[in-house]
Amino acid sequence: MQKPNVFLVGPMGAGKSTIGRLLAAELNLNFRDSDRVIEERTGADIPWIFDMEGEEGFRERETAVLKELAGESDAVVATGGGIVLREQNRELMKASGYVCYLTASIDQLVERTARDKKRPLLQVDNPRQKIIDLLALRDPLYQAAADFVVNTDRRSPKSVAQEIAALVQQGR
């Protein structure tokens, strides 16, 4: 029997890539990171793509990569924080596997992203306010897409991965 994909969605700093790797190992699935795939295909990093093509150009690339990854099976896919902005992406993920929304408090998100210069949307005077604004816009979209919601606040990535694995194995 084919195992479904598991898509991890959530804000920057929720732990999608770190937890995704552990979850893939836990479920014996392949791990894919949509942002890394975009960078490999483009030969450029995400900030450069944002600079050259704007957010809309990046979102086009993101949707194209998601279509490809959703066509695979047996994969845990860590997505970019804004992937849920397009209804087409939300529907594609739901149709291709489980969607898990990783949440964290604003304080945790700020703490986890504070030193990361590779997040174009946070290169602003007040990154905390930007995270609050992004979450206000995106939280309802994450909720709408999610089969389950898991909080990562002050938890080890391994314990979060184990919780998600249990949810997936229960076939929620």
Residues of the chain with pLDDT under 70: 1-3, 117, 120-122, 172
pLDDT at position 90: 96
**What tokens does 141 get?**
């979209």
pLDDT at position 1: 41
- Report the amino acid identity of residue 21: R
**pTM of the entire structure?**
0.93
DSSP state for residue 87 in the 8-state scheme: H
pLDDT at position 104: 94
Whole-number Å distance between alpha carbons of 152 and 14: 7
Distances (CA, A) of 57 to 4, 10, 107: 29, 21, 30
pLDDT at position 20: 97
10 φ/ψ sector (left φ>0, alpha ψ -120 to 50, else beta):
left
**What tokens does 70 get?**
């959703």
pLDDT at position 112: 82
Other CB atoms within a 10 A radius of the CB of residue 23 amount to: 26
Fold adopted by 5-163: Rossmann fold (3.40.50)
**What tokens does 95 get?**
């149709």
